[in-house]
A and B are shown apart, each in its own frame.
Chain A
Amino acid sequence: MGNSPPVFKQILSELGYDVVVPPPPSRRTLDLGTKYAPEFACIPFKILLGSYLEAIDLGADTIISTGGVGPCRAGYYGELHRGILHDLGHDVDLIIIEPPLKRPADFLRAMYLLFRERKAPLWKLPDIFWRAWLKLNAIDCVEKASHDIRTFEIDKGETTTVFRQCMEILDAAQSKIEIKEATDASLELLSAIPQDRSRDPIKIGLIGEIYVVLEPLANHNVQVKLEEMGVLVHRSIYLAEWTQNNALTNREYDVKKAAEPFLSELVGGHGRNSIGETVLYAQKGFDGVIQLAPFACIPEIVAKSILPYVSRKLNIPVMTLFLDEQTGEGGIRTRLEAFVDLLVQRKKKKEGQLACVGI
């Protein structure tokens, strides 16, 4: 998902495994996944399956993935993936890591499978994991910085180019010191990008199901697209942050609390978060919210049906983009542009300016 693969690669290779990292999901990945997945499976399922198949092509014999909890079918996807891969005649192990606090027994079993052939001595483990954690945080930190800058960049596309360099620098960093240095160097590279800080951009919050929020292939790179249109975008989910809040501890009280007046039930997936985050964005004075949802994702559908009410009550426009392999680039672009126009008009009007549309 997004920029995280190098981190997992690092952990596993330090444990003594040969690691193949499938290429970042592409149209080909999605086509492959769509071909072998049930038609009505959601887009995360299809991209994952495609990635597994690409990894198998590259020689992988063991696949590690994560599970899920709550009333969302994602929790069952690992089993289904395993079945499909076996039916296709691939003799691979699929190890599914469940959240440690919520499903301890399954988690330990997966850990056993994961470690049974490790070559690294036990005393090294804390260090390996700690550095991986630092790296994951470093990646998030650099990515966040890139988002703060892209909106203001003078030459369209420059931030994206620099960011790609940063990821290479981070990928090469191994020790704690190197990670720290790579982070600093990346931040420096980014801040050297010529910017026009006199712009007064509108602010949009991105919410929705974690996979499509994090995976640019699934969401047609909405965050970057919006930023290149000059919008300041805040994404509700970053991987390190999310891992900390969900898998390790159980903090997310503020989001859940914010959702409470509108939805107090657990609806699975990120449904309740989507409501809570919208409320928080409204409170923080954002101009609008975009919900990213896999087509046919039940938790997000539940959230979507409540969002118009939240939107009216808190006076913040919300637009939902449903995503699947049929979603066309053109449709997404048109909707994003129109939504941005709408927010700009509203803002001008609020500020007492003439609400003309020729932005």
Chain B
Amino acid sequence: MRGYLGVDVGSVSTNLLTTDEQGNIIASLYIRTQGQPIAAIQEGLALLKKELPADFQVCGAGATGSGRTLAGVIVGADLVKNEITAHAIAASRLVPNVQTVLEVGGQDSKIIILREGVVTDFAMNTVCAAGTGSFLDHQAERLNVPIEDFGTYALQADNPVRIAGRCTVFAESDMVHKQQLGYSLQNIIAGLCEALVRNYLNNVARGKDILPPVVFQGGVAANIGIKAAFEKALGTPVYVPDHYGVMGAWGAALLAQENMSTGKNGASSFRGFEAAKLDYEASSFDCQGCPNQCEVVSISMEGKVIGRWGDRCGRWENMLGNT
């Protein structure tokens, strides 16, 4: 069997996914990055391999996410793409006429505006809307409610409390205050969801023209409370895809598929699932070659340098090409 691989390495989670030749998802998984992207990717490859038919052949691989350069080098991706484009591609594959994509992940959130299948505008979170996913996890723990049930609680609210949502720090202290005033858990959780949505709409989505159909993806899309709060605030149904958590990786796989279909690229440079067993090492140093003092990162595989970046002048990167 032939297909494509997509890898999305973010600061909180690392997602891997394979598709068939038509781009339909056949296996996907989600791993916590935990500050160790290389280990996460390797673990992901090993787990993914187990879920695939023995004869599965990757004929194209794509990488995305904030760790995309690293991921690209490690898996030997044919295409490395930013997460905005990757998310847009995946969403429009699912809902061809989608006009708005809301994406809220562990650390980052973004909004993508599309018209007639083309991205026309986008924005990523400012500092004050960062970490929504992590924040929710944290609050669930504090309120002693499993995060999976968070949404259910929110939907049971009869009168959501208004919580200051300027940023997650404000929201937290205000929530604690409301808790002490004796509001019900349901109403507090619903209020929290609404505060986060308000915060997102005021910061990330400020000035953007939100038109239906709206797709909501990223890890936080699992939370039906947030979904409901979006629907309430926007006054339009919000569609959450089945694979809401791995849309970036799917986008990367779809882009790899498109990339390979142009035909000019020859065989895939995918290193194979064996990459999971190889010994990779990342190191970095401050170049003293000029006043820029760039922080240069290099990745080696089995002791041999296979990737370098971070230098402004290209002297380290080019050295690699010459060897």
A160 contact set on B, CB distance < 8 A: 312-314
Cα–Cα, bound, A264→B188 (Å):
47
B314 touches A156 (CB 8 A): yes
A358 touches B258 (CB 8 A): yes
A317 contact set on B, CB distance < 8 A: 120-121
B293 touches A26 (CB 8 A): yes
Which of B21-29, B78-86, B195-203, B230-238 lies at the interface?
B78-86
In the complex, what residue of chain A is closest to B117 when comparing beta carbons? A355
Q: Interface residue count for A (Cβ, 8 Å)?
A: 35
B79 CB contact (under 8 Å) in A349, A356, A358: A358
Taking the closest CB of chain A, its distance from the CB of B83, in whole angstroms, is 7
Cα–Cα, bound, A164→B314 (Å):
13
- Interface check B34, CB cutoff 8 A: no
A221 touches B312 (CB 8 A): yes
In the complex, what residue of chain A is closest to B113 when comparing beta carbons? A342
B258 touches A338 (CB 8 A): no
- Interface check A345, CB cutoff 8 A: yes
Taking the closest CB of chain A, its distance from the CB of B255, in whole angstroms, is 5
Cα–Cα, bound, A292→B291 (Å):
23
B82 touches A341 (CB 8 A): yes
- Interface check A16, CB cutoff 8 A: no
Tell which of A308, A334, A339, A346 has the most Cβ of chain B within 10 Å.
A334
B119 touches A345 (CB 8 A): yes
Q: Tell me how many residue pairs across A and B have CB atoms closer than 8 Å.
A: 79
B207 contact set on A, CB distance < 8 A: 305, 308
Would you list which residues of chain A between 12 and 49 have a CB under 8 Å from chain B? 23-28
B314 touches A338 (CB 8 A): no
B313 touches A330 (CB 8 A): no
- Interface check B156, CB cutoff 8 A: no
B82 CB contact (under 8 Å) in A308, A322, A334: A334
B84 CB contact (under 8 Å) in A161, A338, A356: A338
If the complex has contacts A334-B82, A342-B119, are A326 and B313 also in contact, measured as CB distance less than 8 A? no
Cα–Cα, bound, A341→B293 (Å):
30
Tell which of B85, B116, B207, B262 has the most Cβ of chain A within 10 Å.
B85
B120 touches A346 (CB 8 A): yes
Cα–Cα, bound, A161→B317 (Å):
14
Cα–Cα, bound, A164→B183 (Å):
65
B82 touches A358 (CB 8 A): no
A339 contact set on B, CB distance < 8 A: 122
Taking the closest CB of chain A, its distance from the CB of B70, in whole angstroms, is 11
B118 touches A24 (CB 8 A): no
A358 touches B66 (CB 8 A): no
- Interface SS, A side: helix
In the complex, what residue of chain B is closest to A334 when comparing beta carbons? B82
- Interface check A157, CB cutoff 8 A: yes
Cα–Cα, bound, A132→B88 (Å):
51
Taking the closest CB of chain B, its distance from the CB of A53, in whole angstroms, is 15
Cα–Cα, bound, A204→B141 (Å):
47
- Interface check B259, CB cutoff 8 A: yes
B262 CB contact (under 8 Å) in A27, A334, A345, A358: A358
A23 contact set on B, CB distance < 8 A: 291
If the complex has contacts A26-B292, A308-B207, are A357 and B89 also in contact, measured as CB distance less than 8 A? yes
- Interface check B318, CB cutoff 8 A: yes
Cα–Cα, bound, A308→B120 (Å):
12
- Interface SS, B side: mixed
Would you list which residues of chain B between 91 and 144 have a CB under 8 Å from chain A? 116-122, 124, 126-127
B85 contact set on A, CB distance < 8 A: 337-338, 341, 357
- Interface check A335, CB cutoff 8 A: yes
Would you list which residues of chain B between 246 and 302 have a CB under 8 Å from chain A? 255, 258-259, 262, 291-293
Would you list which residues of chain A between 154 and 197 have a CB under 8 Å from chain B? 156-157, 160-161
B66 touches A349 (CB 8 A): no
B258 touches A357 (CB 8 A): yes
| Chain B proximity mask over A324-356: 1 for CB below 8 Å, otherwise 0 | 001001110111011101100110010000011
If the complex has contacts A28-B293, A334-B83, A358-B262, are A326 and B127 also in contact, measured as CB distance less than 8 A? yes
B262 contact set on A, CB distance < 8 A: 358
In the complex, what residue of chain B is closest to A26 when comparing beta carbons? B291
A342 touches B122 (CB 8 A): yes
A221 contact set on B, CB distance < 8 A: 312
A335 contact set on B, CB distance < 8 A: 84, 124
A355 touches B318 (CB 8 A): no
A337 contact set on B, CB distance < 8 A: 81-82, 84-85
If the complex has contacts A334-B66, A338-B84, A341-B85, are A349 and B118 also in contact, measured as CB distance less than 8 A? yes
Would you list which residues of chain B between 51 and 87 have a CB under 8 Å from chain A? 66, 79, 81-85
A358 contact set on B, CB distance < 8 A: 79, 255, 258-259, 262
Taking the closest CB of chain B, its distance from the CB of A88, in whole angstroms, is 23
Cα–Cα, bound, A345→B81 (Å):
14
Would you list which residues of chain B between 189 and 218 have a CB under 8 Å from chain A? 207
A26 contact set on B, CB distance < 8 A: 291-293
Cα–Cα, bound, A179→B259 (Å):
49
A157 contact set on B, CB distance < 8 A: 313-315, 317-318
In the complex, what residue of chain A is closest to B255 when comparing beta carbons? A358
If the complex has contacts A26-B292, A326-B127, A334-B66, are A355 and B118 also in contact, measured as CB distance less than 8 A? yes
Cα–Cα, bound, A148→B313 (Å):
18
Would you list which residues of chain A between 220 and 243 have a CB under 8 Å from chain B? 221, 224
In the complex, what residue of chain A is closest to B315 when comparing beta carbons? A157
B124 contact set on A, CB distance < 8 A: 331, 334-335
Sorted from nearest, which 4 A-B pairs have the closest CB atoms? A157-B314, A338-B84, A358-B258, A337-B82
6 A/B residue pairs, CB under 8 Å, sorted by A: A305-B207, A334-B83, A341-B82, A342-B118, A345-B119, A357-B89
Residues in chain A within 8 A of chain B (CB atoms):
23-28, 156-157, 160-161, 221, 224, 305, 308, 317, 322, 326, 329-331, 333-335, 337-339, 341-342, 345-346, 349, 355-358
